[in-house]
Amino acid sequence: MGTGTVTTRDGEKLFYKDWGSGPTVVFVHGWPLNADAWEDQMKYVAENGFRGIAHDRRGHGRSTQPWEGYDFDTFADDLNDLLTALDLQDVTLVGHSMGGGELARYVGRHGTDRVSKAVLLSAIPPLMSQSDSNPEGVPAQVFEEIRNGIRKERSQFWKDTAESFLGGNRPGNQATQGNRDAFWLMAMAQSIKAGVDCVTAFERTDFTEDLKKFDVPTLVVHGDDDQIVPFEATGEKTARIVPDATLKVYEGGSHGIAVVPGHKDKFNQDLLAFLRS
């Protein structure tokens, strides 16, 4: 309990934190964050009779930073290594943003033998990129601008990105300076190689077939003002594809639902109700 590391099948070290006792909830963070993004939720579930676990994705936070391996098959296998090493059963998996893609690919590659429920929060599945068949998606030019922003001067890029990520550029928003600072701090703990490669991974990966393999109750939560992962291209479609899905749309919700005051409290309550259902 507390913190530890797991060694992956290819020798990388994944940092994780492990709080509380009871039925297990494993939180999978978004890009460009790390396990610290889940501290509010981990404390909340641990105080309410659950065990919360969150790891830093390879290339992020306190995990090792290899040169290669920033693709969703690798991330899903890393998650499997974590669940296997800790011998976790009847787990609720909670994935935010890119972490929702990691969760989906985990189910696609490893099934749900260890999983009892799933939560997709502001998540990227089924597909982020815009195309004739996915007109609601994000244009290729936007992904290239993100990669170029990281390459050019990532510190300022993360400061700028925090605004749209947290909805800080919207009138009446509740994003705090502390939210912005925390986003920047976590983003700067990600390697620049991971930062750039992850953009390419979540631009190009299609999770449609993974979602079709979900056979556990699934909660889909998305803000209708998500400026990073458009609801119409992702959460709305995911809720139609996953067989046993419940969709909750947060009015005015940004991409940073789990950390911005107001929506954070609502999500914590919805998460706990789903865990107890």
CATH number at residue 105: 3.40.50.1820
The residues, any chain, with a CB within 8 Å of residue 224's CB and separated by 6 or more, are: 231, 249, 250, 251, 252, 253
CB 105, CB 69: distance < 8 Å: no
The confidence score (pLDDT) of residue 257 equals: 97
The confidence score (pLDDT) of residue 128 equals: 96
**Helix, strand, coil: what percent of the chain each, to 5?**
45, 20, 40
Domain that holds residue 103: 2-276
Q: So which residues are the catalytic ones?
A: 97, 226, 255
The confidence score (pLDDT) of residue 197 equals: 98
The confidence score (pLDDT) of residue 52 equals: 98
The confidence score (pLDDT) of residue 184 equals: 98
The confidence score (pLDDT) of residue 273 equals: 98
Distance CA 167, CA 173 (A): 6
Q: What is the amino acid identity at position 204? A: R
Tokens of 229: 């992962």
The confidence score (pLDDT) of residue 210 equals: 98
CB 271, CB 41: distance < 8 Å: yes
Residues 75-103 have pLDDT tens digits of 999 999 999 999 999 999 999 999 999 99
Stretches where the chain sits below pLDDT 50 are none
Reduced to 3 states (helix: H, G, I; strand: E, B; else coil), residue 270 is helix
Q: What is the amino acid identity at position 109? A: R
Largest CA distance in the chain: 48
Tell me how many domains the chain contains: 1
Backbone angles phi, psi at 46, to 5 degrees: -65, -35
The confidence score (pLDDT) of residue 72 equals: 98
Radius of gyration of the chain (CA): 17
Residues 24-40 have pLDDT tens digits of 999 999 999 999 999 99
CB 128, CB 202: distance < 8 Å: yes
Strand pairing report for 218-223 and 115-121: parallel
Q: Please give the model's pTM, rounded to 2 decimal places.
A: 0.98
